[in-house]
A and B are shown apart, each in its own frame.
Chain A
Amino acid sequence: MNVPILALDKISKRFGAIVVADRVDLALAEGESLGIIGPNGAGKTTLFGIMSGTVPPDSGRVLYAGRDITRMPPAQRCTMGIGRSFQIPLPFGGMSVFENLVVAAAFGAGQREHDAYERCMEILDQCGLADKANRSSRSLGLLDRKRLELARALATDPAVLLLDEVAGGLTEHECQALIELLRAVRRQGVSIIWIEHVVHALVASIDRLLVLHNGAFIAEGNPQAVIRSPQVAEIYMGIEADA
């Protein structure tokens, strides 16, 4: 089997008494698209923090193409190819939409500024932000901020894209456009891990689905099958029988 592009090896993390990751293993194959669902507080976003380097794990290793990057600072991981979008959009408010992307392209992808312009416009176009390129990013509505979040992550030219609830709050039509966009991104060879609450959007665009609950994966496999599995029903219906 090929070396996974991104892997977690027995990662554990706790905040005080709360275990958010309990010896988690995960392997993302190159070109694969992986979805993660789980109730609020299951530890999904923390896993992204551990992968992108903002949250140090208590134990375990993070591997990128077989290389141990557990102690590598976030900036270097980004340059190497791990791109991330945030659940709550965090644009650089003092800059225009275009500049937000240029920064990401210049430093995250290491492109010369001038070469980055064309690529950035292309991404803005893909993400439906082309006509707002020169607006201040602070003036954007929530939907456009979400688009910018994705566009900026793409501008870092990632090999692995970590998406944190990009579909939340989108209309059905917008959701469809997003799924199309992510398909195009995948065709460029980008591997994706996608955390999402909008399950149908997720199921429509991933190869494999994982279910995270109390810091551990409790189900994994074909998206359709996992969604119908009794474990998932249990969590989401809240009828755990261990009381």
Chain B
Amino acid sequence: MVWINVILQGVLVGGLYAMFAAGLSLIFGVMRLVNIAHGDLIVLAAYLALVVTETLGIGPLASLILVVPLMALIGYALQRLVLNRTLGDDLLPPLLVTFGLSVIIQNGLLAVFTADSQKLHAGNLEVATVRLAEGVYVGALPLLQFIVAVAVIAALQFLFYRTPLGRAFRATADDPAVAQLMGLDNRHVFALAMAVSLAVVAIAGVFLAIRADFDPSQGPARLIFGFEAVIIGGLGSLWGTLAGGLILGVAQAIGAHLDPGWQVLAGHIAFLVILAIRPEGLFPKVRT
């Protein structure tokens, strides 16, 4: 029974990792941009939610109504004004620029909010539990977070394969030079992709901030979890990314149960094992 609980906890955390990863994967898929600042943007979203909740006196979940569009707007502007200029045949410039962005966000947050840990408070939701079976209880919050993660992945899947915007993403990912001759303005399409990515980041950031304390230095660790989930799942597959997040979460939960110090290590080991056995990930969507 203990193990069922452990694995369940892992699965539920995994949903959060999948959300970290989905935004990362989307950006890489559409414009071959590796966003090193992704983790810091998650933390930025958490601080944004902090400001919104404190200023307006609303709960963290309600704050999503403002934080999601705000982050999307930041994403659009960031891509249009900065990142579009770094794109080209070379993968290095976007890597360097987003690395710089990561440093800027971390230090900006440090300057404004100090290094003190912060947390978003969701009241009763944080301690409420749901009984799934005899002796198997899960927190309402992790459960909600998991359901939201699955919904987000499903929504992205729908967006990609069933909407005009999704087709624009796929066409541009396929061949940006031809796409622009079909009337697709790459700069605009890329900016929309970044907006969608940061909208997802906003949701992930708020849930992260309700779950645990956060401070300005936490971004890079979130980035690593996101990367690992993407690689485990296989590039280009959204459901694979969800699976990757779950595997990472379960590995960490098992590690933590064996010894609290092994939590993060166990996740990295699971990642390395899968990288060694299946370097293309578990559910790769091969592009030719």
Contacts and interface: CB of A to CB of B under 8 A. Distances in A.
B184 A75 contact: yes
B122 to A, nearest CB: 39
Contacts of A110: 183
Contact of A75 (B170, B180, B287, B288): B180
Contacts of A156: 182-183
A73 B174 contact: no
Contacts of A73: 180, 185
Given A93-B288, A94-B287, A78 B170 contact: no
Contacts, number: 71
A92 B168 contact: no
A67 interface: no
A92 B181 contact: no
B177 interface: yes
Contacts of B164: 102-103, 106-107, 113
B101 interface: no
B170 A95 contact: yes
A93 B184 contact: no
Contacts of A147: none
Interface in B149-166: 164
Interface in A92-119: 92-95, 99-100, 102-104, 106-110, 113
Between A74, A93, A108, A138, the greatest number of chain B beta carbons within 10 A of the residue's beta carbon is seen for: A74
A75 B185 contact: yes
Contacts of A74: 180-181
Of all A-B residue pairs in the complex, the 6 with the closest CB atoms, nearest first, are A108-B183, A107-B183, A75-B185, A78-B183, A92-B174, A74-B180
Given A103-B164, A107-B184, 16 more contacts: A74-B181, A75-B181, A75-B186, A76-B185, A78-B183, A93-B288, A94-B170, A95-B171, A103-B171, A103-B182, A104-B182, A106-B164, A106-B168, A107-B168, A108-B182, A156-B183
14 contacts: A54-B180, A73-B185, A75-B180, A75-B185, A92-B171, A92-B174, A95-B171, A102-B164, A102-B167, A103-B167, A103-B171, A107-B164, A110-B183, A138-B288
Interface of B: 164, 167-168, 170-171, 173-175, 177-186, 287-288
